[in-house]
Chain A
Amino acid sequence: MSRLLFCATLLLGAFASAQDEVVEVPEGSESDGYTPDEAQAAEPVRLTGYLDVGFAKATGNGSSFLPSDGRVPLDYGSDAFAPAVNSRGEVASTDATGRFTNGFLPRSVGLGSRPSFLLNTFSTDVRVQPRSLPLFLFARVQVMPRFSASGDATRLELQQAFARYSPFKAHELAVFLGRFDSVFGIEYLETEANLRLGITPSLLARYTTGQGLGAKAFYRVQVPGLWSAFSLNAAATTNGTRIEALVPVSQSLTGVVVGSARLGYELNLQKVQVKAGVSGLYGPRNDVKAGPARQLAFAGDLRVTAFGVSLAGEVLRLIDEPSASAKFTGTTVGELATGFDVTGGWVRLGYTLPVTTPALTSATLYGRYDHRRGHFVGFPTLVTDRFTLGARVDVYEVLALKAELLLNRELAGAPTVDNDVFTSSVVFTW
């Protein structure tokens, strides 16, 4: 026994000695590092993208329309965008009975109340960065296969295509020309399924996350001593900032561009990041061809991240002046270009669990509250809200697994309807 102890002591001693051994790095052995040529460092052409598939189940008939509701237009008396099932904001269903609507409608995947698997989006980005030029070219092409007969048709869309020019190295100025994302608010930053923390957009995303054709410029100036920066993002585009289901986005029906901008503030502390902004939009309505009807919007936004907790929110006020001419949406032509205004906001709280492994790169729980008060002139004010609970798990940096529960409520101006949604999504980024 004592011999065994002696051997064990020797072994432990040897082990400890080896563990503690420290050797100086041989002089001249440490390299000064490696830096590739600037032109060599950047890949001139890159292809990336994602595939978003999901499973969803809506309650009721999958839409916000009560079967017994006889009001017209039907879409003025309900929030047709509430039962969303994916990151594009497409809903489980819209009305299939042929009741009169006026084009204020989302696109639909045509599920009704059936639990279904969905092929939401196949998206490809092409990035071209010519060597030694301050120029960047970008295009995003998306395929939305819709297999259901009652869903909107399969589409191939050139969602974005622009050139970005950054003339200065010492100043943060970027000028864009082409079709690009909105500059209004913050939700446009995460419209794509692989970027969005959750699955579905807010009840206000239809007004702020569309693309437009035109020019925009981004400029940021930093403030020494305050750990802060101010930025201005301004655009002049055909469309305002509404999504393509509501307005034609790549053409100006009046020939007059819509101006939009966001003034942003960033506070960058260690482990704490605060971003806030105010946005504005002004120009002609782009869903009517004649008349002086204008659209006007302003918004405020805030994002705070610290120690795994993220808080984000946005408030919005938008006004459409009435017009006597027909209304052209992205999908149909309506009879009325009614005056409209909306007020609302959303706030989202997320917590990223402090657990990561090589496989599990991130796990986040979140909740969001949306509130929307919409009013078509001459019709009752519609007040709805939504509670969203969800979870997102990222695996190996290429796979996102998401699940979300949407609890929609009609608070005023609409009959109570069963339009809650459970939806889930698997997003493979390549």
Chain B
Amino acid sequence: MMHALAVVLLVAGGKPQGSKDAGVGLGEQAPLEVLVKAPEELGYKAVTERQYLLVTLLVGAKAAWDRQAWDEAATKWEAALRLPALPAEVESAVRPFATAARERAGGKASSVPPLTASPEANPTSVTITMEPPELKEKKQLVEVSGTVQGGGTHGPGGAVVIFRRASGSTPKPKAARVRAVVQKDKRFVPHVLAVPLGATVEFRNDDDFFHNVFSISKPNDFDLGLYKSGAQREQVFNTPGPVQLLCNIHSSMNGWLFVSDSPWFGQANAQGKFTVKGVPVGEWEVEVWHEWANQSSKQTVTVSASMGELSLSVEGDRRAPAFVPDKAGKPRQPQLGY
């Protein structure tokens, strides 16, 4: 979402003139230089970037309003109103301005996004704003939680749980924010990360030496080249499925991304516990992918408001390969350590 809105900002506002009055220069600094050295810091970074984006939009919109650039101001306020779980006081302050700006720009006030949050709303339920309103009203969204068992000696941690409609096609996910995988102490952190289709993942080198992150998992294969300590590279993942992450310099490094083609997915913690939020009631096929399973497991479940905890399982029958390939696919001998 942040990434998409940043694009909207740039397209709508054009190239900022660099003056403080314009108030749009802030947005060019994203993504923020917030170091992530541990998994729990990823969430912190996401919250920080979200708040930063909100402030950037509000400041930029007001600056555009003051310049009587009505369309630009309306676009930015509308973008702010589309942010999920927008605090109610922000929404109430912004909406009149957004409506006025859109009208002055020659548009209709109805183009301003509808209310997306209220203080009474269940904070764990999220409105699916891209769906037609009439469909939305019929659906009840459920927070599904449960436990994954299996994964062999490695345990269930990192298992990815994906919900797809049992009949009919499942909507595609809208990639909301840039995700991060950090290289630290010759490891990928997090080791396994589930992302939605179309997600941008940034790979940042927090080690004191170079890394060359790549994958030969077709068709999501990529090669970021060599980059130094503190630098980061981005990659967009447009094909669903597992992506093994490797480093061309350090054969001991490996990690995984799982690209989900469904917006409803979650990931198990070390104890196997997972939560998938906002799942519409109905019949679903649930897939569980695990890096140490040769095959994903699948089962059909019925999601309802009264459902209990799900109990899922996945194999742990995959052996680590004897060799680790370099980016040309040539096997490397891990015992050499180089």
Closest chain B residue, CB of each to CB of A168: B208
Q: Are the C-beta atoms of B42 and A23 separated by less than 8 Å?
A: no
Residues in A131-146 with C-beta less than 8 Å from chain B: 136, 138
Q: Bound complex: CA of A225 vs CA of B228, how far in Å? A: 8
Residues in B175-198 with C-beta less than 8 Å from chain A: 175-177, 179, 181, 185-187, 189-196
Closest chain A residue, CB of each to CB of B84: A27
Q: Knowing A29-B264, A34-B270 touch, does A23 contact B131 (C-beta < 8 A)? A: yes
Q: Are the C-beta atoms of B209 and A170 separated by less than 8 Å?
A: yes
Interface presence of A335 (CB below 8 A): no
Q: Which residues of B contact A268 (CB under 8 A)?
A: 210, 212, 225-226, 248-249
Q: Are the C-beta atoms of B130 and A273 separated by less than 8 Å?
A: no
Binds B, one of A43-51, A77-85, A368-376, A381-389: A43-51
Interface presence of B310 (CB below 8 A): no
Q: Are the C-beta atoms of A269 and B187 separated by less than 8 Å?
A: no
User: Which of A32, A172, A218, A220 gathers most chain B CB within 10 Å?
Assistant: A32
Q: Are the C-beta atoms of A33 and B327 separated by less than 8 Å?
A: no
Binds A, one of B13-21, B70-78, B101-109, B317-325: B317-325
Q: Are the C-beta atoms of B337 and A36 separated by less than 8 Å?
A: no
Q: Which residues of A contact B174 (CB under 8 A)?
A: 22-25
Binds A, one of B24-32, B91-99, B328-336: B328-336
Interface presence of B43 (CB below 8 A): yes
Q: Bound complex: CA of A310 vs CA of B329, how far in Å? A: 11
Residue from the list A29, A33, A40 in contact with B39, Cβ < 8 A = A33
User: Least Cβ distance of B112 to chain A in Å?
Assistant: 18
Q: Bound complex: CA of A224 vs CA of B211, how far in Å? A: 11
0/1 interface trace, chain A 11-38, chain B, CB 8 Å (1 if under): 0000000110111111111111111101
Q: Which residues of A contact B264 (CB under 8 A)?
A: 26, 29
0/1 interface trace, chain A 201-235, chain B, CB 8 Å (1 if under): 00000000000000000101010110101010000
Q: Bound complex: CA of A36 vs CA of B212, how far in Å? A: 22
Q: Are the C-beta atoms of A33 and B173 separated by less than 8 Å?
A: no
Q: Are the C-beta atoms of B128 and A23 separated by less than 8 Å?
A: yes
Q: Which residues of A contact B185 (CB under 8 A)?
A: 38, 169
Interface presence of B67 (CB below 8 A): no
Q: Bound complex: CA of A229 vs CA of B191, how far in Å? A: 26
Q: Are the C-beta atoms of B266 and A31 separated by less than 8 Å?
A: yes
Q: Are the C-beta atoms of B323 and A195 separated by less than 8 Å?
A: yes
Q: Knowing A22-B173, A138-B335 touch, does A356 contact B218 (C-beta < 8 A)? A: yes
Q: Knowing A24-B1, A24-B129, A28-B124 touch, does A273 contact B190 (C-beta < 8 A)? A: no
Q: Which residues of B contact A41 (CB under 8 A)?
A: 187, 191
Interface presence of B298 (CB below 8 A): no
Q: Are the C-beta atoms of B129 and A36 separated by less than 8 Å?
A: no
Closest chain A residue, CB of each to CB of B208: A170
Q: Are the C-beta atoms of A169 and B186 separated by less than 8 Å?
A: yes
Q: Which residues of A contact B268 (CB under 8 A)?
A: 34
Closest chain A residue, CB of each to CB of B124: A28
Inter-chain contact count A-B, CB under 8 Å? 204
Interface presence of B100 (CB below 8 A): no
Q: Knowing A29-B264, A224-B228 touch, does A164 contact B331 (C-beta < 8 A)? A: no
Interface presence of A305 (CB below 8 A): yes
Q: Are the C-beta atoms of A33 and B226 separated by less than 8 Å?
A: no
Interface presence of B276 (CB below 8 A): yes
Q: Which residues of B contact A197 (CB under 8 A)?
A: 330
Q: Knowing A170-B209, A172-B209, A229-B210 touch, does A25 contact B248 (C-beta < 8 A)? A: no
Q: Are the C-beta atoms of B194 and A227 separated by less than 8 Å?
A: no
Q: Knowing A26-B277, A34-B158, A35-B39 touch, does A172 contact B338 (C-beta < 8 A)? A: yes
Interface presence of B87 (CB below 8 A): no
Q: Are the C-beta atoms of B323 and A33 separated by less than 8 Å?
A: no
Residues in A293-327 with C-beta less than 8 Å from chain B: 305, 310
Number of A interface residues at 8 Å Cβ cutoff, please give it: 64
Q: Are the C-beta atoms of A22 and B126 separated by less than 8 Å?
A: no
Q: Are the C-beta atoms of A189 and B329 separated by less than 8 Å?
A: no
Residue from the list B124, B196, B218, B270 in contact with A25, Cβ < 8 A = B196
Q: Are the C-beta atoms of B192 and A33 separated by less than 8 Å?
A: yes
Q: Bound complex: CA of A160 vs CA of B131, how far in Å? A: 63
User: Least Cβ distance of A57 to chain B in Å?
Assistant: 28
Q: Bound complex: CA of A27 vs CA of B329, how far in Å? A: 38
Q: Are the C-beta atoms of A25 and B190 separated by less than 8 Å?
A: no
Interface presence of B157 (CB below 8 A): yes
Q: Knowing A23-B172, A25-B173, A169-B185 touch, does A32 contact B39 (C-beta < 8 A)? A: yes
Residue from the list B190, B223, B322 in contact with A34, Cβ < 8 A = B190
Q: Bound complex: CA of A166 vs CA of B261, how far in Å? A: 41
Interface presence of B269 (CB below 8 A): yes
Q: Bound complex: CA of A348 vs CA of B330, how far in Å? A: 14
Q: Knowing A24-B174, A356-B218 touch, does A32 contact B40 (C-beta < 8 A)? A: yes
Closest chain B residue, CB of each to CB of A269: B225
Residue from the list A28, A33, A271 in contact with B191, Cβ < 8 A = A33
User: Which of A23, A172, A181 gathers most chain B CB within 10 Å?
Assistant: A23
Q: Are the C-beta atoms of A21 and B209 separated by less than 8 Å?
A: no
Can you name 26 A-B pairs with beta carbons within 8 Å?
A: A18-B168, A18-B169, A21-B131, A23-B171, A27-B176, A29-B264, A32-B39, A33-B194, A34-B191, A34-B268, A35-B39, A35-B191, A36-B157, A49-B322, A164-B335, A169-B186, A172-B338, A174-B336, A194-B331, A218-B336, A218-B338, A220-B338, A268-B210, A269-B225, A429-B323, A430-B322
The 4 A-B residue pairs with the shortest CB-CB distance in the complex, in nearest-first order = A33-B190, A26-B278, A34-B158, A33-B193
Q: A24-B174, A268-B225 are in contact. List 12 more A-B contacts (CB 8 A).
A: A21-B171, A23-B174, A24-B128, A25-B263, A26-B278, A29-B263, A29-B278, A32-B42, A32-B190, A34-B192, A136-B335, A268-B210
Chain A residues with a Cβ under 8 A of chain B: 18-19, 21-36, 38, 40-41, 43, 46, 48-50, 125, 127, 136, 138, 160, 164, 166, 169-172, 174, 181, 189, 194-195, 197, 218, 220, 222, 224-225, 227, 229, 231, 268-271, 273, 305, 310, 352, 356, 362, 397, 429-430
